[in-house]
């Protein structure tokens, strides 16, 4: 990471920091952290996103951390020559809208699916994007304040499921660094009692139709529900002792939204979902957590065998993936 290059690049430009659509705590914390970092180095920026900020914890973050983050609808004057830094997301992915500005830089912790020619790219596979942003402060000697540290630590915690998922040495190091500055009261305010009554309906529905084949757990949420909630239900299903690979999908008006989790090192769920949804939708992500989408027109083709077809596709994709990795060894 050469932070000076990022500063040089952005100097003198109108800068937007764009998270993925429907930003989660890690994306929002990373956006805030980067904004504070840039500000210290003389660059003003505006945080923006597409979609909605829909969950209780992300809504709370805005208040508790006093964040200014704008929906693209509220930025009608963004120009083609304005600079965009994407955080926790990469251009051309399904989860990020292509805004009018120029995506000159990217800071992300997800594997690259579609290559993009950024002028500055910092993609490192660690537990959270907040980890990378914290690293910018530490390496550059930029002063860390407690508000930013608390937001980043919260993002790190959520994305790594409390340091239990996809954690690297840098995550641990940054956790220690941030912890030093944390405002415990603010952290409790965003982190406690984040479950909403409507969440229980999603959990309830998933529990009522869960199916388990060997180590794989499948569940469907038969109504529209936010991305973050599908992910939470997927984590929940993975918590079952007999499940080591969880597939949860929600029936939305525009199609099926997937969240997949893997506890097995031998099963890379980013690659598996990409294979499982090939030809009907798209998917990708980390080895231990991934997401995907099947648009409505393709869901209709699956007809009443939808659930069966989906299960079958994932089971086959897992088997094929296992076979391909064995072949190479
Ligand atoms: Mn993230």
Q: 173 alpha carbon to ligand 1 midpoint, in Å?
A: 17
Q: 131 alpha carbon to ligand 1 midpoint, in Å?
A: 9
Q: Is 286 helix (H, G, I), strand (E, B) or coil?
A: coil
Q: 201 alpha carbon to ligand 1 midpoint, in Å?
A: 26
Residues 212, 178 share a domain: no
163: left (phi over 0), alpha (psi -120 to 50) or beta: left
Residues 125, 204 share a domain: no
Q: Cβ of 266: how many Cβ atoms within 10 Å?
A: 12
Residues 288, 149 share a domain: no
* Domain encompassing residue 145: 3-191
pLDDT of residue 193: 78
The structure tokens listed for 194 are 């984040």
The answer to whether the CB of 253 falls within 8 A of the CB of 293 is no
pTM: 0.83
Q: 106 alpha carbon to ligand 1 midpoint, in Å?
A: 13
Q: Check which CATH number belongs to the domain holding 18 and give it.
A: 3.90.1640.10
Residues 174, 62 share a domain: yes
Q: 87 alpha carbon to ligand 1 midpoint, in Å?
A: 9
Q: 123 alpha carbon to ligand 1 midpoint, in Å?
A: 12
Return per-residue pLDDT of the chain as tens, 329 residues.
899 999 999 999 999 999 999 999 999 999 999 999 999 999 999 999 999 998 889 999 999 999 999 999 999 999 999 999 999 999 988 788 999 999 999 999 998 888 888 999 999 999 999 999 999 999 999 999 999 999 999 999 999 989 988 899 999 999 999 999 999 999 999 998 788 888 999 999 999 999 999 999 999 999 998 888 899 999 999 999 999 999 999 999 999 999 999 999 999 999 999 999 999 999 998 899 999 999 999 998 888 889 999 999 999 999 999 999 887 65
Identify each DSSP E strand in the chain by its residue range: 15-18, 45-49, 69-71, 83-87, 102-108, 120-123, 211-213, 216-221, 245-252, 255-262, 282-285, 289-295
Q: 117 alpha carbon to ligand 1 midpoint, in Å?
A: 21
Q: 306 alpha carbon to ligand 1 midpoint, in Å?
A: 30
Number of compact structural domains in the chain: 2
Residues 228, 181 share a domain: no
Q: 315 alpha carbon to ligand 1 midpoint, in Å?
A: 27
Q: 169 alpha carbon to ligand 1 midpoint, in Å?
A: 16
Q: 108 alpha carbon to ligand 1 midpoint, in Å?
A: 8
Helix (H) or strand (E) holding 35: helix 25-40
Task: Give the environment of ion ligand 1: residues with CB less than 5 A.
Answer: 26, 88, 129, 159
pLDDT of residue 142: 98
Which of the listed residues 153, 168, 191 is the one where a domain comes to its end? 191
What DSSP line would sit under 83-147, residue for residue?
EEEEESS-TTSTTS---SSEEEEEEE-SPPSS----SEEEE---S-HHHHHHHHHHHHTPPP-HH
């Amino acid at each position: 990471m050469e932070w000076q290059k990022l500063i040089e690049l952005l100097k003198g430009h109108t800068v937007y920091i764009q998270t993925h659509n429907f930003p989660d705590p890690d994306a929002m914390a990373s956006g805030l952290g980067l904004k504070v970092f840039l500000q210290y180095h003389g660059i003003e920026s505006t945080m923006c996103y597409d979609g909605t900020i829909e969950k209780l914890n992300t809504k709370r973050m805005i208040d508790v951390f006093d964040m200014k983050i704008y929906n693209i609808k509220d930025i009608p004057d963004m120009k083609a020559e304005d600079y965009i830094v994407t955080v926790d997301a990469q251009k051309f992915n399904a989860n990020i809208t292509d805004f009018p500005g120029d995506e000159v830089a990217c800071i992300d912790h997800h594997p690259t699916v579609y290559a993009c020619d950024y002028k500055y790219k910092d993609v490192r596979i660690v537990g959270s994007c907040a980890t990378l942003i914290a690293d910018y402060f530490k390496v550059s000697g930029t002063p860390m304040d407690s508000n930013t540290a608390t937001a980043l630590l919260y993002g790190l915690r959520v994305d790594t499921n409390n340091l239990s998922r996809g954690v690297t040495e840098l995550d641990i190091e940054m956790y220690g660094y941030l912890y030093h500055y944390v405002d415990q009261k603010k952290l409790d305010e965003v982190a406690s009692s984040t479950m909403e009554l409507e969440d229980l309906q999603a959990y309830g529905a998933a529990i009522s139709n869960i199916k388990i084949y060997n180590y794989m757990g499948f569940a469907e949420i038969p109504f529209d529900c936010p991305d973050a909630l599908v992910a939470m239900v997927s984590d929940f299903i993975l918590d079952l002792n007999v499940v080591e690979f969880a597939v949860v999908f929600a029936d939305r008006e525009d199609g099926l939204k997937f969240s997949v989790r893997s506890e097995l090192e031998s099963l890379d769920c980013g690659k598996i979902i990409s294979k499982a949804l090939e030809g009907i939708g798209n998917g990708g992500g980390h080895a231990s957590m991934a997401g995907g989408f099947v648009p409505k027109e393709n869901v209709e083709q699956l007809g009443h065998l939808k659930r069966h077809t989906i299960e079958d596709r994932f089971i086959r994709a897992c088997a094929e993936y296992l076979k391909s990795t064995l072949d190479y060894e």
